[in-house]
Amino acid sequence: MAEKLKQASSRGSGNADRQPAAAGLPLPRHIAIIMDGNGRWAVSRGKGRTAGHRAGIESVKAVLRAALDLGLPELTLYAFSTENWKRPRTEVSFLMRLLRSYLAAQRAKMIRDGVRLGVLGDVAGLPAPVRQELDRTLEATAGGRRLLVNLALNYGSREEIARAARLAAADVAAGRLAPDAITAEELERRLYTAGHPDPDLVIRTAGEMRMSNFLLWQSSYAEFWVTPVLWPDFRREHLEEALADFGRRQRRFGGLPDSDE
């Protein structure tokens, strides 16, 4: 990959002379982040879980600023899973209100910064006020060209794959697709991420070593980077550390490097 990480800007780092930790190394086309640890962050400080979610918004802002400064093309954030509905009703309601307020407050800034918002998941299952705020932001930021930020909302990878299979089955039933033409590529075209590059790098915070039903298909050949840092404490330097580690890895995709042939 010929792309190089850009010099960190004074806006993102507070130091105009600071160089990114991964300067000169390959830049991922797509980074996906499992934002974990909000509740533990709050409990460790004697606060309610909602305080952790509110603090996590500041990490979202910091990561978006760093992604823009470093020239990352695409970022996907695991914001709310299909399993998260099992949480207490008060916490779910708070998360929905927090999402609405974030979108409303950040929409103008996203437009100024050239950020385009995308969404992955069953949006129809979200509360109507959240869908309305999402629609406003999706439309308002459609012209953004610097960074695509996908929010995975009401998202579950197993359901996404099952949905793709149902769509393919419907096309077979309608005579639009032959059964033996159902290939991996055909299913991929029916995923929420159709047209997106697969994530090159998946980051998980809070030290957990699992995927939690996130982009299972798309992450088949992704590199993983896990940090013990809780999401509300995650900042630019942690992202740069992940990028530096990614840049040093040798990706084989099931084959061998040229030197081993």
Active site residues: 36, 84
The C-alpha atoms of residue 5 and residue 54 are separated, in whole angstroms, by 30
Contacts of 99 (CB under 8 A, 6+ apart): 79, 80, 130, 133, 153
Phi, psi values for residue 34, rounded to 5°:
-95, 105
The C-alpha atoms of residue 1 and residue 58 are separated, in whole angstroms, by 31
The C-alpha atoms of residue 13 and residue 112 are separated, in whole angstroms, by 20
**Token couple for 230:** 């809780």
The C-alpha atoms of residue 212 and residue 205 are separated, in whole angstroms, by 12
Helices (H), the chain: 10-13, 38-43, 49-70, 89-113, 128-140, 157-173, 184-188, 236-248
Identify the burial level of 91 via C-beta atoms within 10 angstroms of its C-beta, where 0-12 means exposed, 13-18 middle and 19 or more buried. middle
Which of 53-67 are b and which e, b meaning 16 or more Cβ less than 10 Å from the residue's Cβ?
A: bbbbbebbebbbbbb
